[in-house]
Amino acid sequence: MTLEDLEAFTHAWNGHDVDTLMSCMTDDCVFFTGGGTSAHGSRYEGREKVRERFEGVWKDLPDVSFQRPRHFVSGNRGCSEWTLVATRPDGSKLEVDGCDLFEFEGNRISVKNTFLKNRNQ
């Protein structure tokens, strides 16, 4: 996985292009969300579950985008820092800084682990 690949991954998120996103993921991929009832967030495992959750983000936050992305790759790990900007269903604005920590298998993402800053607004 390269910096350009992570740029393309962010571009696919912002374009709500789930097919491109999933082409970047391994068959046995795991996605840990930034929120949930467990310390690690919610866990989605396997292509179909991860795909469903990715699509759920756009359903929950139709205008979501990841702005000011910065990426780095080191061996089989990488990181994307970003600011998530969206409108909640109640019309209020959401702006949250966060990052994704990635594990790679070859040129695909095997683990996407999201971390968010919690803001009381």
User: What pLDDT score does 10 carry?
Assistant: 96
Query: Which residues touch 54 (CB under 8 Å, ≥6 apart)?
Result: 18, 21, 22, 31
Domain membership flag for residue 36: yes
Interval 68-107: pLDDT, tens: 999 999 999 999 999 999 999 999 999 999 999 999 999 9
Indicate if the pLDDT at residue 108 is higher than 80.
Answer: yes
User: What pLDDT score does 38 carry?
Assistant: 84
CATH code: domain of residue 62:
3.10.450.50
Instruction: Find the domain containing 86 and state its range.
Output: 3-116
Q: How many independent structural domains does the chain possess? A: 1
Interval 17-69: pLDDT, tens: 999 999 999 999 999 998 888 888 899 999 999 999 999 999 999 999 999 99
**Beta strand pairing call for 25-32 and 108-116:** parallel
User: What pLDDT score does 119 carry?
Assistant: 61
User: What pLDDT score does 121 carry?
Assistant: 52
CA geometry: angle 25, 108, 5, nearest 5 deg: 105
For 6, which DSSP code? H
Domain membership flag for residue 50: yes
In this structure, what token pair is assigned to residue 1?
Answer: 């996985």
* pTM tops 0.95, yes or no: no
Domain membership flag for residue 121: no
